[in-house]
Structure 1
Amino acid sequence: MRIGYLVRHGQASFGKKDYDALSDLGHLQSRVLGRELAYREIRPDLIIRGELRRHRETAEGIIEGLELDVPVEVDPGWDEFDFQHVVEVFKPLYRSRTLMVADLARTRHPKAAFQAVFEDATARWIGGGFDGEYAESFPAFTSRVEGALGRMAERGPDKGTVLVVSSGGPIGLAASLMLAGDASLWGSLNRVAVNTGVTKVINGRSGLNLSSYNSHTHVEHDRELLTYR
């Protein structure tokens, strides 16, 4: 490929039994992005997606908006890290969804409260001192995403365009690897990821280079379309 677009999935169902399913808004965001790509005459030669439901549904919405028949491949290297597991290791109370919901409900802003727990939990995960406690350590996650990024570069026509549908974690990590050569920027990049935000990658003589990160002009005109979780 010559150009790659890394797309974060549409809004998932936060607080519901099946978080992995897109919300109605998430489906709309995906179709809006597809229509925007069509308007800009960006026609992917290939779509690669993670194997999660929210990745599949987002890819389907983008294709619907594009009104274009695009081949789709699945690469689990683009799957999100298991954030629920990372949170549960940090806060075992949250192994019970009922207790987690009740605990968050005690706060005035449950989403903000969960975000605070999430950030503390991921800080512990990436710290490196407790790798053995996790099903997938942060170094293992980094290696997995680095492999997926390399495979993306090899797919599609030499001068073609590949679109990847993934999650904020892998996309932020991929951006950090291209910008800094390591995962040091991951936390800051992951924190600001917008649903269906688009990150552009150029595959040149020097390898993969980040052209833009988290572009979301297709949703920022409508506050209801602009979501972060």
Structure 2
Amino acid sequence: MTHITLIRHGQANTGARDEASYDRLSDLGHQQARWLGEHLRNTQAHYTRVYSGTLTRHIETAAGMGLEDIVQDPRLNEMEYFTLAEAMQDQHGLQIPTERAGFVEHMPQVFAAWAADEISNAPESWRDFEIRTKSALSEIAAGSGPAVVVTSGGLIAMAMRQAMDLDTTGTARMALAIMNSSMHRLHPIGGRLSPVLFNAVPHLDNPARHYAQTHL
């Protein structure tokens, strides 16, 4: 096994309320990606393989970072949170928040209902999301040499859930904490992947860039 560095995409279209509209980087998201790419080059970060999901925000982030020879894998795509939220509103009367503060309570409720199969006609089951996350990362970890994976916050939270045996509430809290263009590392310890880095944004640590430490 080898270690994997997971990277959340740069800030996307924060004003969106559906999957298609959300799936593109904002101007700040493009800048975050460029800064992260510069940081990795300046620190001579070592990785031999690069992967990403197939969503536009993944591809734009990887391109902005200057990554090459990228293997795109749909298993690394994000859950359809907007679709799930709309279903929760229609089926259970849970209103969709308009600000980040509202998602602190909203996301754990959506995750709990989704995990309990209480959302009819969900785009995929919680179990299927778990399975594809684990299968993709297990295959990457079994490859030769350290890998970088550009993906989304929900998938990173699911990876952390599997590494740390989190419950659904803990998984939601993990997802809420993950910043745009942040880095997270899973390292093989005792035959399984364990987190050794979480939510690192060294490329945004300069006080002049603190405004770019975004979650949405």
Q: TM-score range by the shorter chain?
A: 0.7 to 0.9
Q: Does 1:169 align with 2:154?
A: yes
Aligned-partner Cα distance in 2 for 1:36–1:142: 31
Q: Which amino acid aligns with 1:176?
A: R
Aligned to 1:29: 32
For 1:146-161, what aligned pairs fall within 5 Å after superposition?
Answer: 146-155=134-143, 157=144, 160-161=145-146
SS at match of 1:227: coil
Q: Which amino acid aligns with 1:227?
A: T
CA contact (8 A) 1:145 1:170 kept: yes
How many residues in Structure 1 have an aligned counterpart in Structure 2?
208
Shift of residue 143, structure 1, vs aligned partner:
1.0
Aligned-partner Cα distance in 2 for 1:215–1:33: 11
Q: Which amino acid aligns with 2:4?
A: G
Instruction: Select which of 179, 204, 210 maps to 1:219.
Output: 204
Aligned-residue sequence identity (percent) comes to: 28
Q: Does 1:3 align with 2:3?
A: yes
For 1:21-170, what aligned pairs fall within 5 Å after superposition?
Answer: 21-63=24-66, 70-92=68-90, 104=98, 110-113=99-102, 116-126=105-115, 128-130=116-118, 132-155=120-143, 157=144, 160-170=145-155
Aligned-partner Cα distance in 1 for 2:194–2:84: 30
Cα-Cα RMSD = 2.5
Q: Could you say which structure has the larger radius of gyration?
A: 1
CA contact (8 A) 2:117 2:125 kept: no
Aligned to 2:184: 199
Shift of residue 212, structure 1, vs aligned partner:
1.3
1:68-111 Cα shifts (integer Å, max 9, x gaps): x6311011111000011100111139xxxxxx7xx94xxxxx44
Task: Name stretches of at least 5 consecutive residues in structure 2 with no aligned partner.
Answer: none
Indicate the larger mover: 26-35 or 132-141: 132-141
SS at match of 2:28: helix
Q: TM-score, normalised by structure 1?
A: 0.81
1:30-64 Cα shifts (integer Å, max 9, x gaps): 1111111112210321210001000000011111x
Q: TM-score, normalised by structure 2?
A: 0.85
Aligned to 1:97: none
Indicate the larger mover: 5-14 or 37-46: 37-46
Aligned to 1:13: 13
Aligned-partner Cα distance in 1 for 2:46–2:37: 10
Aligned-partner Cα distance in 2 for 1:166–1:175: 13
Aligned-partner Cα distance in 1 for 2:76–2:83: 18
